[in-house]
Structure 1
Amino acid sequence: MSITAAVRRIGADVLDLARTRLELAAIELQEGAHRLFGYLGWAIAAALCGLYALGLVILFVLVLFWDTHRLAAVGGMAVLFILATLFAALKLRTGLAQRPPMLPATLAELRKDAAALKGEQDDAIQA
């Protein structure tokens, strides 16, 4: 086998390896996007239903206490919403801090490939 043929074969193998990894990354991105849009749709539906319910509850409380304690009712509702906002912001912050890394399978395969190219194939297989 000539050097040119060996270089072509190595180049073809590297391209095939890169193509496989890109296909894996694309599949993972598609699955992630599909999940994200599903979550987004349900989140929008829940938010709209929650807002309508919340508006009706506020209206009910204000009408109920309008003649006797209207300022206390408005102040109580404001405090309730401030606390709910703080709770939601903290949950969002915690969720974002604990999210898993993107493309975990692709990154694992790329680590295995890099280890194999460095001659550490035995260590990569055991891990």
Structure 2
Amino acid sequence: MTLEDLVRLRRARDRMDRDYAEPLDVPALARTALMSPGHFSRTFRAAYGETPYSYLMTRRIERAKALLRRGDMTVTEVCFAVGCTSLGSFSSRFTELVGESPSSYRARPHDAGAAIPACVAKVRTRPVRNGEAKASRRP
């Protein structure tokens, strides 16, 4: 992988971070990176350790957690606000990454984290796949 490839991948990753609520797919992201969809998917996974779709969904779930903590939107509204088009898929992925359903997450109190700086909270509350959580606990 060349430095130029990494710059192009970063451009696509930045687009996912910025435009997470837009309807993004691999071909659109590959165009951003000036790569074919197959090459983009392979090099993205090699560079970042996850597929472009998985990275995008993690961004969407991070934003969904913030919206659910506010408590002024329903789970369905949050689902569509973060760019998901299926409530079932959103709920399944949310539960997989967070460990509880969006409704349960929204219902519980979140006051304890109010005093934590946003930069620390983002790192500590980043959604993690169940397999990654188990692997990170190993000594």
| TM-score w.r.t. length of structure 2 | 0.23
| TM-score w.r.t. length of structure 1 | 0.25
Structure number with greater Rg is: 1
- In terms of fraction of residues, the more helix-rich structure is 1
Q: Higher relative contact order by CA 8 Å / sep ≥ 6: 1 or 2?
A: 1
